Amino acid sequence: MATIDLSPLYRSSVGFDRMARLLDSAMRAENNGAGGYPPYNIEVVGENRYAVTLAVAGFEENELEIEVENGILRVQGKKADEQEAREYLHKGIAFRGFERKFNLADHVEVSGAALKNGLLTIGLEKQIPEAMKPKKIEIGSSTKGLLGRLSKSDEKVA
């Protein structure tokens, strides 16, 4: 198992602990075999819009749960107990339960979900708050009022 030494980052940066947790989580998931079931795609579908599609063949809507908490999208599937016992000659379809987690970037919200043809698609959208969007600043010719209270000599010039 490869490890990443983040101590140089901690010596010169403040507030990057979430990134360190994400890297650590990704390394653990890769090494414990969690990456295989169910298979999934992550797709860019437009500007600031994404879709996560999971292959969940055999699962009904009521057997799937989607939850977002603290920037983590969690998709869980639990098969309902089969009422009748079946006898198989070959059973290649597992229908096993699963839990898959995805770390979401800041301001990424779930916009909806749909189940069609055994594919669960979850829509995601990055919603940038107005305060974080670029703002055009008009340039004027007077400095009056820009710098707060002006001194007596500045008032004569303005």
40-61 pLDDT, tens per residue? Answer: 999 999 999 999 999 998 899 9
Is a pLDDT exceeding 70 seen at residue 144?
A: yes
* Length, in residues, of the chain: 158
Contact between 62 and 12 (Cβ < 8 Å): no
Instruction: Scan for tokens 């010596």, then name that residue.
Output: 11
What average pLDDT does this structure show over 54-71? 94
Torsion sign over Cα 41, 112, 114, 57:
positive
Q: What are phi and psi of 47, to 5 degrees?
A: -65, 120
Is a pLDDT exceeding 50 seen at residue 116?
A: yes
Predicted confidence band of residue 141 (pLDDT cuts 50, 70, 90): confident
Is a pLDDT exceeding 60 seen at residue 100?
A: yes
Q: What is the pLDDT of residue 28?
A: 64
Is a pLDDT exceeding 50 seen at residue 33?
A: no
Helix segments in 32-157, DSSP class H:
152-157
Q: pTM of the entire structure? A: 0.66
